[in-house]
Amino acid sequence: MAHSHGPHHHHGSNTRAFALVTLINLAYTALEAGYGFYTNSLALLSDALHNLGDVLGLGLAWAAAVLARRPPSGRHTYGWRRATLLSPLANAILLMVFSGALGWEAIRRFSAPPAVPAMPVIVVASLGILVNLGAAWLVREGHAQDLNRRGAFLHLMADAAVSLAAVVAGLGMLALGWTWLDPAIALLIGVVIAVGTYGLLKDSFGAAMDAVPRSIDQAEVEAFLTAQPGVAALHHLHIWSLGAGEIALTTHLVRPDDEDHDAFIDATIDALNQRFGINHATLQIERGSACEHDRHDAAPHHSH
């Protein structure tokens, strides 16, 4: 049996990016809450509360990036890389909860829309667009493959959308006096956030449950392995995510006893990494032929 670890990923840039984004959003949340209290604007206070929840979500992503840097130990032999899979799951749940709360508050306000001072909403929300888009730019790299970064990226883009909606509502209230715009746009944004978060929730839950990553077709990997020189049969194939950018594979391959297994393993592991991005493969060789393997599988198995 042999295994190979892919190249070590440097999480230092991840940690710095999450730290900077979290601190920037925390500062903006404090500013928005301060203006909300000063102007008695419920819209700004509600958005500040929403942003505070997002800061907590970003803090989870930051903590996950820090934990992922911890080396393996006797008890945690894979290290703490799985934290980057659990963090986006918590992030997705938080987003769903806040979108539900936002929608509920919007529906409640339709019956009696409160008077909201439009200009402070426009100014502070415009600043929120710049802050959130800038923060999203900091974590944009690799967000399509890294669930932890993807969760943070979606948080920030959702916040930018909320701020844009607040600007539109503020302009409508300022120009036309339409106070119903505030709850109407809030409800729309709540739905958009929930729909956009569903994919993250599904992917992060699958990763936490050791599902095959969506980017990999297990049948294609199995066909690739069985087509390799000398492979007579394959069984016990498992593929799962270890953490951000790390995919593991274990399998048993049946090959004739007179083959050069070491060279075969090295070449196959390298091919798995190059073709599928599987960078933590473990291959166990069972010596024999397909017929012998079939007879072995047909024999009754006894457990004690």
Q: 282: which 2 tokens?
A: 């473990």
The pLDDT of residue 42 is 61
Range of the domain at 275: 218-298
The pLDDT of residue 11 is 47
Q: Residues 230, 198: one domain?
A: no
Q: Residues 106, 193: one domain?
A: yes
Identify whether 2 is part of a domain. Answer: no
Q: Number of folded domains in the chain?
A: 2
Q: Residues 204, 223: one domain?
A: no
The pLDDT of residue 7 is 42
Which alpha helices (DSSP H) does the chain contain, by range?
Answer: 12-39, 42-67, 83-110, 118-138, 147-176, 181-208, 218-226, 261-276, 290-298
Nearest CA among 296, 11, 14 for reference residue 149: 14
Q: What is the CATH number of the domain that holds 255?
A: 3.30.70.1350
Tell which of 180, 208, 236 closes a domain. 208
**Phi, psi for residue 242 in degrees, rounded to 5:** -90, -30
Q: 104: which 2 tokens?
A: 């509920």
Condensed to tens digits (0 to 9), the pLDDT of residues 118-144 reads 787 788 888 888 888 888 787 766 555
Beta-bridge partners for 286:
254
Q: Residues 241, 146: one domain?
A: no
The pLDDT of residue 304 is 35
Q: Are the C-beta atoms of residues 58 and 90 closer than 8 Å to each other?
A: no
Q: Residues 124, 223: one domain?
A: no
Sequence length of the chain is: 304
Q: Residues 107, 139: one domain?
A: yes
Identify whether 198 is part of a domain. Answer: yes
The pLDDT of residue 301 is 39
Tell which of 208, 239, 274 closes a domain. 208
The pLDDT of residue 206 is 80
Task: Give every residue of the chain whose pLDDT is below 50, as ranges.
Answer: 4-12, 295-304
Identify whether 55 is part of a domain. Answer: yes
